[in-house]
Chain A
């Protein structure tokens, strides 16, 4: 390639540059529009009252249903979306485990498989967790179950967002 830019090359570059600029002016809004969900910040989870008294929590995990307010695009379900936590006392502390399997997101049940008593069990790929949520080595999940933040207020259990690991 010669060092001098020929007239033809110069015209090609300016025309191409202008066309590219105009094209981007058209495409940018559309791409930004489509990419918006990636760039939006998720809502911060608030604490919700489960109406479960502190005295009702014992060593055995129990499924506690609660509802969280969600905004799914334009859809805001009345009364919020139902969620479940496995709540128990473990070493004196309250533990609220998310029922979402850490393998591929199915729902785990406590003591739900007679073969694996006293464990959380996921029916999809036989993922298993010990009572405190730690994954059983050699089963599909590689991480322990997520924990919800919890607090006791006026004797009732309140559940918050999932704890960041």
Chain B
């Protein structure tokens, strides 16, 4: 049945070459944990991507209940966590996943650094990776404000004051981030828009570039 549906679609769209091109490629022996267990360090990039997918998915579901404004933000988070079935789990996935994603990303960076994989001709992919790191930090920073509790409020105040300390453009940067003179009604929707539209769009674009470059250049050789 499933096979017949696939065949019907494939006859019309010719999708087989596309997914073959994406998925059907050899994994070199030195990055395959089945050959050398220590090669598990090569999994951190893929694990980061997997966690990012979980973040996107759980975030989409959280957005079904969350309201980005000063009156309702905290109340809606409290409601979805305490009164909606499995709310604790879904918010927990997003909350812990955020930290796990940063940790995985960091381990991936360490692996690339210590195997020297960033060297020519892969410097550009290192730069793209650093941009991905900044995107993820931005997602973490903007997401932190959204529950609108004390921790969120003061963390954002501190973050914005750090931005304000940048020479010359600092005060403009702070006003831009706050959307006004203080962290409040205009800040939440701004952070929400950055958190769910702008930064994920940028992140997905960078990830696509990252993956295309890996396929073009191949995985770096063994040590």
Instruction: Write the residues of chain A forming the contact surface with B, with a CB cutoff of 8 angstroms.
Output: 26-27, 29-30, 32-34, 36, 39, 73-75
Contact = CB atoms under 8 A, between A and B. Distances in A.
A32 B78 contact: no
B84 A36 contact: yes
A34 B57 CA distance: 12
The contact size tier of chain B is 20 to 34
13 contacts: A26-B57, A26-B93, A27-B57, A29-B86, A29-B89, A30-B90, A32-B86, A33-B61, A33-B84, A33-B86, A33-B89, A74-B76, A74-B83
Given A29-B90, A32-B86, A74 B75 contact: yes
Interface centre among B54, B78, B84 (most CB of A within 10 A): B84
B85 A36 contact: yes
B115 interface: no
Contacts of B85: 32-33, 36, 39
Contacts of A32: 85-86
A73 B78 CA distance: 10
B79 A74 contact: yes
A34 B64 contact: yes
Contacts of B217: none
A73 B86 contact: no
Given A39-B85, A73-B79, A74-B78, A33 B90 contact: yes
Contacts of B93: 26, 29-30
Interface in B31-84: 54, 57-58, 61, 64-65, 72, 75-76, 78-80, 83-84
Nearest to B53: A26
Given A30-B57, A33-B85, A75-B75, 16 more contacts: A26-B54, A27-B57, A29-B89, A29-B93, A30-B58, A30-B90, A32-B85, A33-B64, A33-B80, A33-B90, A36-B84, A36-B86, A36-B87, A73-B65, A74-B72, A74-B76
Contacts of A74: 72, 75-76, 78-79, 83
